[in-house]
């Protein structure tokens, strides 16, 4: 389905009687963005420049909200035992939604 990302995990997992080896996430919508916010933002750096601050806690909120649900599918509570590599793959999939959305923007909005 368009607007979904499937992450193939490095191994199979079982939790609460559910076996899974991939996770599917839907694309975030405006309501998700309004409630959770940006996953990263520029902040002033101590040396006078700027630095990119990543909000991993928000990425995990998106993960929980966007995870495809259904009979036999894992829920957010089943993901605690993912390996670090699989957790990073999930984080990158969520981040990619934002990267791809920004790439579709026609240009920077005008400011007055």
| Domain residue limits, the chain | 4-103
Q: Dump the DSSP string for 11-53.
A: EEEEETTEEEEEEEEEPP-HHHHHHH--SEEEEE-TTSSEEEE
**How many C-beta neighbours within 10 Å does residue 91 have?**
18
Instruction: For 37-46, write each residue's pLDDT tens digit.
Output: 999 999 999 9
What is the pTM (predicted TM-score) of this model? 0.86
**pLDDT at residue 1, as a whole number:** 52
Instruction: Write down the mean pLDDT value for the chain.
Output: 91
The angle that helices 84-103 and 56-66 make with each other, rounded to 10 degrees, is 90
């Amino acid at each position: 389905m368009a607007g979904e990302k499937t992450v193939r995990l490095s191994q199979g997992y079982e939790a609460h009687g559910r076996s899974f080896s991939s996770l599917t996430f839907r694309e975030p919508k405006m309501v998700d963005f309004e409630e959770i916010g940006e996953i990263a933002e520029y902040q002033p750096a101590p040396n006078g420049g700027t630095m990119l601050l990543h909000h991993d806690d928000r990425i995990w909120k998106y993960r929980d909200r966007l995870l495809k649900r259904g009979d036999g599918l894992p829920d957010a509570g089943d993901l605690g035992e993912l390996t670090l590599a699989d957790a990073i793959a999930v984080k990158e999939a969520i981040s990619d939604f934002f990267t791809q959305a920004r790439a579709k923007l026609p240009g920077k909005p005008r400011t007055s």
